[in-house]
Chains A and B, each alone.
Chain A
Amino acid sequence: MITIDQSLIYIVFLVLASLILLLVGIITSYLRLISKLTSFKGEKSAVDTGNLLIQAQIRAQKILEEAHVKAREMLTRNDSFSKDLETKIEEELAKSMKMYVDKYDETLEKTEKESIKVLQNIPSDIKTLFLKEIEVVRQNLNQEVQKVEKDARQIVVEAYQKVEAEVEKYKLERIKQVDESIILILKDVARKVLSKEINKEEHEKLVLKALEEAKRQGVFGVKSTEDTYVRSDTK
């Protein structure tokens, strides 16, 4: 792009230079003509001014036409020059553009390939990373599950042991209660049987034996060494 601008500037300068030169040439010719005219006037004062004027005009016109032609030629040459330059610049531009486009295409293609490669690699990278993470998580989870399992088993075992102990304790208590009940029942039955079996005479004997023992032990005041008792038959 910079080259194109420079070419254009050169072209403009060339055109301007050509025009200035042309202008200078024209002015110089005009001044010569004026000076010739002046000198011709001086030499021949009797010359027909009208004719001179007409001739001067004709000459000026010729000069102008020549100048015009020359300027045109110059411009044509400049045109052709600028056209050549333009063509060359266009060619160069096209070449550069093509070069840049090619380079851009190449770079783009390269980048695309790289990206595709990267993109293609990402899943496998991610996959590897993911698998690694999964493995770590799986191991952690396994450990946690094992720990929880162990804790749960421990809790169950403890609870079972506790319940077993309580059941055992309850069992022992109940057995003890049952034994007590059995003993009470047996006592009661034995008592009733014995009570029915003992008649009044046997009762009297038991009471008197008991009173003798009481006397022997000094319950009634004085300890006795006697083993007999006195039966009172009269009031």
Chain B
Amino acid sequence: MYDQILNKLRTLEDKEKLLLEIEILLSGLYEEKGLGFNSLLQNRIRGWVSSYLTEELSKPDVDKEAFLRGLEKELKNLKDVYLTLAYEPTQDQIDTIASFIRQSTGGKIILNLSYDPQLIGGVEIIYEGVFRDFSFKRIFEKEFEEDREEILKKLAQHE
């Protein structure tokens, strides 16, 4: 039921925005005898979210509140995948990364992205409490330490 909208979410910002929108809609359910809800749905929610919710909530036997609460719960149950990148990716690149991870984990994840140029390249991953370093920094530092003496010798030769 919620897969369509959940698949569209990529990052933590997306999740928090949607949660906020759900909060707005829930609060609008009981204002002006429900008339406010529609107004909010049209005016206060992002276009694609509004389209999706309008379509889903117009289905028969769908309780608005229950649906929104359900969606909220699903959102809160999404697993965070913390990724630290060396650059700020484009939206397309974020989509690619999210798609890959979703496929790898089984779907219900959300990316928590951060940026650290020190990584040079690659990524650091924290998922389900486990940290893994797949950055170029690790390789770079490892190579530098191994060749440290040789580098210093070459520098000494050039003096």
Contacts and interface: CB of A to CB of B under 8 A. Distances in A.
Interface string A200-235: 101110111111011101011110100001111111
A174 to B, nearest CB: 14
26 contacts: A182-B152, A183-B151, A183-B152, A187-B140, A187-B141, A190-B140, A191-B117, A191-B137, A195-B120, A198-B87, A200-B87, A203-B89, A204-B89, A206-B122, A207-B89, A208-B97, A211-B97, A211-B134, A214-B123, A219-B127, A219-B130, A220-B104, A222-B104, A230-B103, A232-B98, A232-B99
Interface in B82-106: 83, 85-87, 89-90, 92-93, 95-101, 103-106
Nearest to B122: A210
B127 A207 contact: no
Interface size class of B (residues with CB under 8 A): 35 or more
Given A200-B93, A230-B99, A221 B105 contact: yes
Contacts of B105: 220-221
Contacts of A2: none
A194 interface: yes
Where chain B touches its partner, the secondary structure class is helix
Contacts of B2: none
Contacts of B137: 191
A234 B100 CA distance: 13
Nearest to A201: B93
Given A208-B96, A231-B96, A202 B121 contact: yes
Interface in A94-150: none
Contacts of A182: 152, 155
A214 B46 CA distance: 34
A178 to B, nearest CB: 10
B135 interface: yes
B78 to A, nearest CB: 14
A193 B48 CA distance: 41
Given A214-B125, A220-B127, A207 B97 contact: yes
A184 to B, nearest CB: 10
